[in-house]
Structures are given as structure tokens and as C-alpha cells.
Amino acid sequence: MIKGDTKTAILDAAQELIQRRGANAMSYQDISEAIGIRKASIHHHFPTKDALLDALIQRYTAYFLGLVDSVVKSKKDPADQLLAYASLFEATLSEGKQDKACLCGMLGAELSSLGSPAAAGVKRFYRENEARLVRILEEGKVRGQFHFKGDAKLVAAMIFSLLEGGALVARAEGGHKRLHAMAEQTLKLLLK
């Protein structure tokens, strides 16, 4: 709280705008209007848009993986862990003024127009998330609770894609409730 508060406000505004509309539809002017600061001041904190995106992805990844780890730690049951993991995507969707998808899901669509540090950050987000899903799935299999055939890595990739894609598709119809129903349905396929 001593310093850097403006930086945080900029990142918060940028994140919300991107989650709602995408990076290419978000401008310094939009951020400026959202938090009541001039464009030039934003450039002082983040010289270029690429730098802003990069910082945003780093912060989001750390924050989101932190949520994942704490939510996974708080449950013993892999099935509960999986639903809790999915609920992070659902919560984003229903947060605030709504229609917010995962930041890195949005950026995935815009990957080829991103700077290379930003693009690398998005890929890392995907990898880290899938790695955590693998752990949940393998634990569930060891316990004799999940009964899927095949590679846990592929099931993890499947579930991750389904949640990222589901967040985007559910914005068009059904919203967070529909995403939740999809997550529960997916769990049913794993349990038997």
C-alpha cells in the first residue's frame, strides 16, 4: 500500500477489459476512462502495450495458480478438487458485470497478434494448469475413484480445453450455470 497502487489499478482495469472484449479491442483510452487517469500516465507505468500484457499475464498466472493450489489443498477428494477447479472458471464468468472469460482463454484466440513474451506467458499458463489437472486425475485413479482409460495427460488437456472453450461458448448462451452443468457432466464420465 506504500506504492504502486496506480499500477494495480491499471492492471485491474486492463484485465477486466480483456476478459470481456479481448486484447485487440482494449485500448489505453479505455483504461484511462475506467480509472480516471490520462493515457500518458499509463505509458509511464507500462511503456508499451506488450509490456502491459506481459505483466498482466504474469500477475494473472500467479494469482490463478495460487487459487488452484489452495483450492486443491483444501479438499481431499479428487472429485471435489475437480469441481472446485472448474468452479474457478465458473466464478470468473459470473463475476462483476459478467461475461468475463479466462484471461488466457481470451488471449489464446489472439495469440498470433501478441508479442512473444506475452505469447510465451499464455502457453505457460496452459502448461501449468494441465500439470495440476494431471495430479488430480492421477490421484483419483490411484484411489480407484476415477475409471478413465488412457493417459491422464490427455484427459487433463481435454478438461482444460473444455473449461477454456466452455467459458467462451457459455458467454453466448447459458453462462456460468451452463458451464457448471458441463463440469458436473464431465465428472460423471470420469467416475464411471
Partner DNA sequence: GTCTATAGCGCGATAGAC
Partner DNA sequence: GTCTATCGCGCTATAGAC
Q: Which residues bind DNA (CB under 7 A)?
A: 3, 6, 26-30, 36-41, 43-45, 47-50
Residue by residue, DSSP assigns 73-97 as HT--SHHHHHHHHHHHHHHHHHSTT
Q: Taking Cα atoms as reference points, which of 8, 144, 23, 140 lies closest to residue 82?
A: 140
Look up residue 150 and give its three cell numbers.
Answer: 488412457
Q: Which amino acid is at 108?
A: G
Task: For residue 70, give the C-alpha cell.
Answer: 489452495
Grid cell digits, residue 176: 456460468
Q: Assess 185 for contact with a second copy (CB under 8 A).
A: yes
The one among 42, 56, 105, 136 contacting a second copy by CB under 8 A: 105
CB 48, min distance to DNA, A: 3
Binding to a second copy (CB under 8 A) within 12-41 occurs at 20-22, 24-25
Q: At 110, list the grid cell.
A: 489472439
> Which of residues 86, 106, 118, 136 is near a second copy by CB under 8 A?
106
To a second copy, the closest distance from the beta carbon of 35 in angstroms equals 20
- Of 14, 55, 21, 54, the C-alpha closest to 35 is 14
Rounded least distance, CB 87 to a second copy, Å: 16
Going by the DSSP 8-state scheme, the letter that residue 138 receives in this structure is H
Q: Please measure the distance between the N-terminal and C-terminal CA atoms of the chain and give it in whole angstroms.
A: 50
The nearer residue to a second copy, 19 or 37, going by C-beta atoms, is 19
Q: For a second copy, which stretch binds (CB under 8 A), given 29-37, 65-73, 78-86, 107-115?
A: 107-115
Give the binding site for a second copy (CB under 8 A). 20-22, 24-25, 99, 101, 105-106, 108-113, 119, 122-123, 126-127, 148-151, 154-155, 157-158, 160-166, 168-174, 178, 181-182, 184-186, 188-190, 192
